C-alpha cells in the first residue's frame, strides 16, 4: 500500500497538547486576556472546524500530492494548531491585573504593571507610556511590555525620581514626572480578513 494511501486512513485529529514545562507568569490586563480568549474560541470553534471540513473534502478528490486545496488546507491547519497551543499557554499563565484598580498609599504613585507614566528624557522631551502585557504591546499608542528595558528602568519609581535606562543601543537618564493608574483601552479581537470561519465547500 502506498504511503499516501496509508495517510488517507488517519483521521484529522485536534491540536496536540505540548508537554508540560515551567510556566512563566503572563501579566496582562482584563481586556487583553479577553482578547486572547476570544481569538482562542474563534480558532477552536469556528476557523479550525471550517478548515478541517475543507481538508476532508479535498482529500476525497483523489491524489493529494497535486491537490492544492488539500496541501493549503493542511498547511493552514498546522498554523491554526500552533496558534491555539500558543494561546492556550498564554491564557493558562495569565496573571490578571486591572490598571484601574485602587492602590494603597504609596503604591498609587509608584510604577508597577498597569501604570501610565509620564517621564522626561535627557533632551527634556516628555513621553507617556503605559506598562502592559507582552501580548498587548502597541508602540504607536505608547503601550510597552512590562519586560522591556524601559519598563524595567521605570519600575518602582515615583514622581521626581531619576532612573537610568540601560538598553542595547544606549544608556539614558530619565526623570519621572507623573504616575497614574487608569483604564488602558484595548482593541477587541476582530475576525481577520479572509478567515475561513464558515465552511465554503461546494459539493456536487
Secondary element (H or E) of residue 131: strand 126-132
Q: How far apart are CA 171 and CA 159, in angstroms?
A: 20
Residue-level pLDDT at 24 = 77
The pLDDT of residue 56 is: 87
Instruction: Please say whether the beta carbons of 120 and 51 come within 8 A.
Output: no
pLDDT of residue 63: 62
pLDDT of residue 192: 85
How do strand 126-132 and strand 143-145 relate by DSSP bridges? parallel
Are the beta carbons of 87 and 39 closer than 8 angstroms?
yes
Alpha carbon 42 to its chain's center: 14
pLDDT, tens digit (0-9, with 9 covering 90-100), for 4-23:
444 444 445 555 555 554 56
The conformation of residue 109, written as its DSSP 8-state character, comes to G
**pLDDT at residue 139, as a whole number:** 96
Which pTM does this prediction carry? 0.81
Spatial CB neighbours of 62, under 8 Å, sequence gap ≥ 6: none
C-alpha distances out from residue 190 to 34, 42, 109, 193, Å: 12, 10, 35, 9
Give CA separation, 131 vs 111, 152, 204, in Å. 9, 10, 55
From the first residue on, what is the mean pLDDT of each consecutive set of 10 residues in the chain (204 residues)?
Answer: 45 54 81 98 95 86 71 91 97 96 92 98 96 97 97 97 91 96 96 70 46
Amino acid at each position: 500500500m502506498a504511503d499516501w494511501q496509508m495517510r488517507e486512513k488517519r483521521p484529522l485529529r485536534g491540536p496536540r497538547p505540548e508537554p508540560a514545562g515551567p510556566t512563566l507568569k503572563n501579566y496582562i490586563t482584563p481586556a487583553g486576556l479577553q482578547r486572547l480568549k476570544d481569538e482562542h474560541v474563534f480558532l477552536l470553534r469556528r476557523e479550525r472546524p471550517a478548515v478541517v471540513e475543507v481538508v476532508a473534502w479535498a482529500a476525497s478528490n483523489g491524489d493529494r500530492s497535486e491537490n492544492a486545496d488539500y496541501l493549503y488546507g493542511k498547511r493552514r491547519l498546522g498554523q491554526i494548531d500552533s496558534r491555539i497551543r500558543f494561546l492556550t499557554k498564554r491564557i493558562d499563565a495569565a496573571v490578571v491585573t486591572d490598571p484601574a484598580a485602587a492602590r494603597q498609599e504609596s503604591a498609587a504613585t509608584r510604577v508597577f504593571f498597569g501604570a501610565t507614566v509620564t517621564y522626561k528624557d535627557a533632551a527634556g522631551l516628555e513621553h507617556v507610556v503605559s506598562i502592559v502585557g507582552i501580548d498587548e504591546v502597541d508602540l504607536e499608542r505608547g503601550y510597552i511590555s512590562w519586560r522591556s528595558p524601559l519598563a524595567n528602568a521605570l519600575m518602582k519609581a515615583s514622581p521626581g525620581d531619576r532612573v537610568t535606562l540601560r538598553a542595547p543601543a544606549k544608556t539614558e537618564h530619565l526623570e519621572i514626572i507623573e504616575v497614574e493608574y487608569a483604564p488602558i483601552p484595548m482593541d477587541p479581537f476582530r475576525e481577520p480578513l479572509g478567515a475561513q470561519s464558515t465552511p465554503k465547500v461546494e459539493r456536487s
